[in-house]
Chain A
Amino acid sequence: MTNSQSPTATPVSRRLLPIAGATLAALLLVVIAGSGGNSDAGTAGPAPATVTVTGPLCDQLPAGSEPGNPNSLAGQPADQALQWIPVLTTFEAAVRATGLAAELTAPTGVTILAPTDDAFAAKFSRTNLDDMLLNDTATLRGLLRDHVVSGALPVAELVAAGSATTVAGTSLTVTAHGGGARVDAHADTVCADYQAANARIHVINEVLGTLPTTAGGEDDHPAH
């Protein structure tokens, strides 16, 4: 049906993005096609990669043939791969808010130490996080760059090196811990060795960097 008579009605075809209906429909189909998990479906290419992720949280994340399984992310740009790891919604939103995608998809490769949503919630109050996402993206961008290391490094190589320097210039100690790594003496990998195009993604359980902790008050879970 079309809409018209209501005084507040305006055509739904007025949209934020200048995308024609056909393109929108195509996008929807892409999403459906993508549900098989392989973003490269339809393109001729090498046999699917076999990616093995390790850590206690991996059991809680998409696996096997589920959408977002590690194999399906292997060929994707890092910023898009992050959208499929459901415990990284805060980190992923922060990447979009700060325009960090270009840095994460550099052909020279990156390692992303991505804190979980729980880690962000334990570190920042909701108001603080909102303020960074919406207003203070410079601070947020600095925080994210404390979590990015040049070169796509498996967790074993990080451990072997014993330290890493972030693109922000900070130095992180890396030690072996429970089959994965402990970074900066406090953050543990909880699902390591996701592969994306030119990138490794290691999910960690604490936020790095030097920003003050603001969580712990009533504001963490605002009412209503």
Chain B
Amino acid sequence: MLCVPSHPSCLEIPLRYRRTTAGVFSALLAVTLAATAQPAQATTAAQPQAEPNQVQGLTVVQGDGYATLAWTPVDGATDYQIERTPVGDDDAATGASVTVGVWRPNRQINNSEPTFADAGFAPGNRFQWRVRARFGSTVQPYSTPVSDTTRDHWGDPAVPGQSLRTQWETTLGAQYTNDVNEYAYTAAIDERSDRVRVVEIGRTLQDRPINMFVIGYPTPPATAEAVAATNPLVVNCNVHGNEPGDREACLIMARQLAFTDDATTLGLLSKTTMLIVPTINGDGRAANSRGNSTGQDLNRDYSLIRQPETQAFVEMVRDYRPIASYDGHEYGNANTGDLPMLPPRHQNVAQGIFDESQDMIEGHMYTQGAEDGWWACPYGCTGANVGLGEETILRNTLGLKNVVNSLLELRSSGGPTRPDEGNTANNRRRKTYSALWTFHQFLAYHGANVGDITKARAEAITFQSANTGRIVFRGSRPIEAYPAPHPGDTPPPLDAPGENQILDQPPCAYKLTEEQYHGARTDGPDGQQTTVAQRLAAHGWKVIKVAGGYLVPLSQPERGLVPLLLDGQAAEGLVAAERIAPTLTGTHNGPLTVSGVACLAGATVRGPIKVQRGATLIVNGGSVNGPVDASAAAGFVLTASTVNGPVNVTGATGPVLLVGNRISGPVNVVNNAGGAPLVAGNTVNGPLSCTGNAATPVNLEVANSVSGPRFNQCARL
């Protein structure tokens, strides 16, 4: 089972998005999570000689709520059946033998080492397993059996904290944990663990708290800003009220992280912060409905944020700045894999975010799934017309917010490959423990690849802020198919954008009227409608007050999402704002004085720029020979540009944003009154000085390269 770098099986795995060293490292790391479990092996002594085509080498390793069976493949086998029998301590059968699994070649990337994660049994019971091959419909002899006692519900009943159990666990899956018991369990963990702080990030329409576990070791950072500095990861567990399987996994995982003694896990938590939002849709969970209490599907609302639940989540993303995410669901198609997954595919998502998300899924999850017996596959999995490019879906919204992430589905029913799930409890346990496995793998992947993830994120923020390249209103990046049999042999549809969904020349900014920006809205729940201004603020966007309206520059970190809400051509926009074209794209010789609004796109200015009081300057991807000086500007945006000379931004009343520039000369950001200036990813040949700004400048964890000293408010940027 162990994948070591010298073993040829590790190297044979086709890893399209994988960097070899990181992949092997993450594989090793994940293996250590299960390292305490020793495989039980079939006793071969005193066994009769192997029959023809009999499965050999059967082993079982216990995980949390599942047992991984592994065996030596039989030449000519088309599939395998896995049989489980309850046994007593003496290994005598105490119940009927049942075929619990069917292994098919498309389960895993390496058919040379078949594995199957058996799940659904009540944790803690003892079983015997046998496996047999089938040639077409012809069964072959069963293997010699292996017996083992499965892991009980996680946590020592005698250890405070560890002894907590959810309602779902104590009822053996007969009941899901209800809202009242969730809050009691959450509060109990909060109270008993120094590693956990529970934060209420908002309220549902019916006033249920939306809680979030903030988990770090030995303690979580005290503020959202401090959490953001640890490159946190987040799991959103329950957006659809009638899909509760992931939520139960989240509640169990929170307890594990809060009370585990496992050194590997504590090591991971010492370097980052894990955020778990168990129930964003508490009203829907209580009602067993998909939507929230108004019937709104919240996973069609993460860009529009008409509802308080999605607004709370988006504001959390703005404040805590997770770099990676999983979003938990259940899926009705019985013929898919165990764990359909999908990256953010919208074509406005930065390439690196898509690639890194694919590496997490196809590199890590496919590989670890083959180790532990879980069948991940690209959502759709059967070619179903799902998994497209809607930016309203969290998977895509987060991609457009430069978060490496994946959708997670739990296959609703057992289907042909898990034939023993007519029993409701068996079915519920398999779903929840497969989610628990995934979320632990997610934490392991994050820990092993945080350097790659942050690099992809930094490049994405810089790329988006540069406002280069076309805009796509709807349409996905392709998910390429692997040759069958392979978990990735049937990806979702291509979903390429149509011609009318592409804007080749991006505007510089969108201008909203007073009515568009502050006017009352009719979308959203009665009495709780929010304005566009409130929603853009929830997204954390930079908005500049100008004469006759409000300017939203595209050159900012969530550039890919901006037109999807503000362009008249958007599929599901908020308003049809005016496109503001660049005012200068060529060469300007001599000094440039800006009054009103100037937008320079790829322009060359051979001389200094002076921004007058109340004026706005937006510069994307140009070069300036001479100082850039803005005093009391309404807004100042400088991205992807080269400046030969100092940059002084003083006393701006609105947003200040400097991203991805090369500046030869000192940079001064002083006494600005708007929101926190964004100073990220710049190369400054000279000192960087920030003083007197109303809000401390931030860099979104995208470091600046500064040859001179960094002063005061910018000391750590």
Contact = CB atoms under 8 A, between A and B. Distances in A.
Given A89-B288, A93-B288, A60 B424 contact: yes
Interface string A64-98: 00111000000000000001101101101100110
Task: Pick the most buried of A1, A34, A97: most chain B CB atoms within 10 A of its CB.
Answer: A1
Contacts of A97: 287
Interface string B166-187: 0100111111000111011111
A83 B288 CA distance: 12
B199 interface: yes
A1 B171 contact: no
B187 A24 contact: yes
B202 interface: yes
A5 interface: yes
A21 B351 CA distance: 48
Nearest to A72: B174
Contacts of B294: 134
B393 A224 contact: yes
Contacts of B395: 224
Interface stretch (B204-212, B442-450, B481-489, B664-672): B204-212
B536 to A, nearest CB: 17
A203 to B, nearest CB: 12
A62 interface: yes
B174 A17 contact: no
B171 A31 contact: yes
Nearest to B220: A1
Task: Pick the most buried of A2, A25, A87, A223: most chain B CB atoms within 10 A of its CB.
Answer: A223
Nearest to A28: B184
A221 interface: yes
B297 interface: yes
B425 A62 contact: yes
B171 A68 contact: yes
A17 B387 CA distance: 38
Nearest to A36: B170
Contact of A28 (B174, B188, B319, B332): B188
B361 to A, nearest CB: 15
Nearest to B206: A16
B196 interface: yes
Contacts of B41: none
Contact of B424 (A13, A87, A96, A223): A87
B38 interface: no
B208 A32 contact: no
Nearest to A84: B174
Contact of A35 (B171, B185, B223, B388): B171
B295 A224 contact: no
Contacts, number: 165
A6 B321 CA distance: 13
Interface in A198-224: 218, 220-224
Contact of B331 (A35, A92, A127, A221): A221
Given A133-B289, A221-B332, A6 B319 contact: yes
B425 A12 contact: no
Interface residues of B, number: 74
Given A8-B224, A90-B288, A131-B295, A1 B194 contact: yes
B222 A5 contact: yes
A27 B184 contact: yes
B187 A86 contact: no
A27 B200 contact: no
A186 B519 CA distance: 55
Contact of A27 (B180, B201, B290, B329): B180
A31 B423 CA distance: 22
A86 B200 contact: no
A12 B211 contact: yes
A83 B171 CA distance: 11
B181 A31 contact: yes
Contact of B423 (A3, A21, A60): A60
Given A35-B170, A86-B425, A224-B329, 18 more contacts: A1-B194, A3-B197, A8-B315, A12-B198, A12-B209, A16-B206, A16-B209, A31-B167, A60-B422, A84-B171, A86-B424, A90-B288, A133-B289, A222-B290, A223-B384, A224-B299, A224-B395, A224-B407
Interface of A: 1-17, 19, 21, 24-25, 27-28, 31-32, 34-35, 59-62, 66-68, 83-84, 86-87, 89-90, 92-93, 96-97, 126-127, 129-131, 133-135, 218, 220-224
Interface of B: 165, 167, 170-175, 179-181, 183-188, 190, 193-194, 196-202, 206-209, 211, 214, 219-220, 222-224, 227, 242, 282, 286-291, 293-295, 297, 299, 312, 315-316, 319, 329, 331-333, 384-388, 393, 395, 407, 412, 422-425, 428
Considering the complex of A and B, which 5 residue pairs feature the smallest CB-CB distances, nearest first?
Answer: A221-B332, A93-B288, A223-B386, A68-B174, A24-B184
